[in-house]
Amino acid sequence: MQQKEAVRKMFDNIAGSYDSLNHIMSLDADKSWRKTMLGKLGEGVDGRPLKVLDLACGTGDSTIAIARGLPRAKVTGLDLSEGMLKVMEGKVEKEGLGDRITAVRGDGENLPFSESSFDRVAIAFGIRNFQNREQGLAEMLRVLVPGGRLVVLELSLPEQKVLRALFKCYFLHILPFIGGLISGNRGAYRYLPESVLRFPPKDIFLNMLTSAGFVNVGHKALTFGICRMYWGEKA
């Protein structure tokens, strides 16, 4: 609980500068990664409206992208950080999407929703911050309808040795300096890269999805493996 509270406070602290720094952190590729995620979320929909939960929604970039890309969907964005949600709410209002997007402050490991509440669950660059990923995955499965789909985006280390070395150098040395300079919180931008390095390799995470009860699990590497998309369905 202390770790979770520390992470919440950290995100509250950097909420104002998070969007610009997130683009720096991802080398501005996060927009294309979200488009790929959106394609997987909308796959097999046949135009019907969906109820979508965007977990660890942060400042709402993914939430807004989902609402734009699935024009009839009702999207709920949930995050632990009140500061991030305040930024999101301002962006949602500016986009005129307040009738289709709902912001909820909550814990991804203890979701405040009943069983089978959503057709889709998305989580972009947030699952690595979960204190108990197994519990979080169990909750995601619980709130999905039968046949519903989970789609996860997460940063990762490239497998190619030279790219891996360059990426680690950027992530562990250059990014904390830039992030600290812009946000005034260098500690946050040491934590964020380190959380990527601690995230399980793809085979282990795929096994975690299967162990949680998901079926038809799969994976796709994006941008030389800097980002990975995972998915699974509820039987």
Task: Show the CA angle centred on residue 84, arms to residues 100 and 124, nearest 5°.
Answer: 70
pLDDT at 1 over 60: no
Contact in structure between 77 and 60 (CB atoms under 8 Å): yes
Contact in structure between 214 and 234 (CB atoms under 8 Å): yes
pLDDT at position 192, please? 74
Q: How many residues does the chain have?
A: 235
- Which of 98, 35, 44, 28 has its CA nearest to residue 62? 35
Q: For all residues of the chain together, what is the average pLDDT?
A: 89
pLDDT at position 16, please? 67
Sheet hosting strand 101-105, strand order edge to edge = 101-105, 74-79, 51-55, 118-124, 144-155, 227-233, 215-222
Q: Which residue has the higher pLDDT, 20 or 111?
A: 111
DSSP 171: I
Task: Show the CA angle centred on residue 16, arms to residues 107 and 71, nearest 5°.
Answer: 65
Both tokens assigned to 126: 């947030």
d(CA 171, CA 106): 29
Question: What pTM value is reported for the model?
Answer: 0.91
pLDDT classification of 30: cutoffs 50, 70, 90? confident
pLDDT at position 231, please? 98
Contact in structure between 34 and 65 (CB atoms under 8 Å): yes
